[in-house]
A and B are shown apart, each in its own frame.
Chain A
Amino acid sequence: MNPGALLLEHFETRARRRHGRVRRHATLIVGCSVLGLVIVACVAAPLLTAYNPETLDPLRPLAPPFSPGHILGTDQFGRDIWSRILYGGRIDLLIAFGATGVTLVAGTAIGLFSGYVGGWIDSVIMRVVDLFFAFPFFVLVIAIVAMLGPSIFNMFVAIWLTSWISYARITRGHAVVTKNREYVLAAKALGYRHSRVMLRHVLPNVVSFVLIFAMVDAVGNVLLGAALGFLGLGAKPPSPEWGAMISDGQAYILSAWWLSTLPGIAIVIVGVGFSLIGDGLADVLRADG
Chain B
Amino acid sequence: MARFSFIGRRLLQLIPVLFGITVITFFLLRLIPGDPALQILGQHYTAAGAVEVRHSLGLDRPLWQQYLLFLQRLFQGDLGDSITFKQSAGSVIAERLPPTLFLVAYAATLAMLVSIPAGVISALRRGGIFDQGARITTLVGFAMPPFWLGIILILIFSVHLQLFPVNGYGKTFVQHLDHLFLPAATIALGFSTIVIRTLRSSTLAALASDYVDTARVKGISRFSVLRRHVLRNAIVSVVVVFGINLAFLISGTVIVENVFGIPGVGTLLVDSVSTRDYPVVQGVTLIFAFLVVTINLVTDVVHASLDPRVALE
Contacts and interface: CB of A to CB of B under 8 A. Distances in A.
Interface of A: 127-128, 130-140, 142-150, 219, 222-223, 226-227, 230-233, 243, 246-247, 250, 253-254, 257, 260-261, 263-264, 267-272, 274-276, 279
Contacts of A246: 145, 147-148, 151
A132 B289 CA distance: 9
Interface in B150-173: 151-152, 154-155, 159
Contact of A127 (B20, B140, B289): B20
Interface stretch (B43-51, B86-94, B226-234, B251-259): B251-259
Nearest to A250: B151
B161 to A, nearest CB: 14
A231 B33 CA distance: 22
A276 B250 CA distance: 26
Contacts of B147: 226-227, 230-231, 243, 246-247
A142 B149 CA distance: 21
B144 interface: yes
B289 A136 contact: yes
B243 to A, nearest CB: 11
B101 to A, nearest CB: 14
Contact of A271 (B17, B142, B274): B142
B24 A144 contact: no
20 contacts: A134-B292, A134-B293, A135-B288, A136-B251, A136-B289, A139-B250, A140-B285, A147-B32, A148-B31, A219-B143, A222-B143, A223-B146, A243-B145, A243-B147, A246-B148, A254-B155, A260-B151, A267-B145, A268-B145, A270-B143
A276 B148 contact: no
A127 B24 CA distance: 13
A222 B274 CA distance: 22
A257 B156 CA distance: 11
Chain B contact residues: helix, strand, loop or mixed: helix
A275 B16 CA distance: 36
Contacts of A276: 139
A273 to B, nearest CB: 9
A156 B176 CA distance: 37
A248 B19 CA distance: 41
B288 A139 contact: yes
A270 B139 CA distance: 12
A136 B145 contact: no
A147 B289 CA distance: 17
Interface in B214-253: 246-247, 250-251
B100 to A, nearest CB: 11
B310 interface: no
Contact of A135 (B24, B143, B145, B276): B24
Given A139-B251, A246-B151, A233 B144 contact: no
B144 A137 contact: no
A144 B28 CA distance: 7
B269 interface: yes
A149 B39 CA distance: 10
B262 to A, nearest CB: 14
A141 B16 CA distance: 22
A270 to B, nearest CB: 7
A274 B154 CA distance: 28
B148 to A, nearest CB: 4
B155 A253 contact: yes
A135 B142 contact: no
A132 B33 CA distance: 22
A184 to B, nearest CB: 27
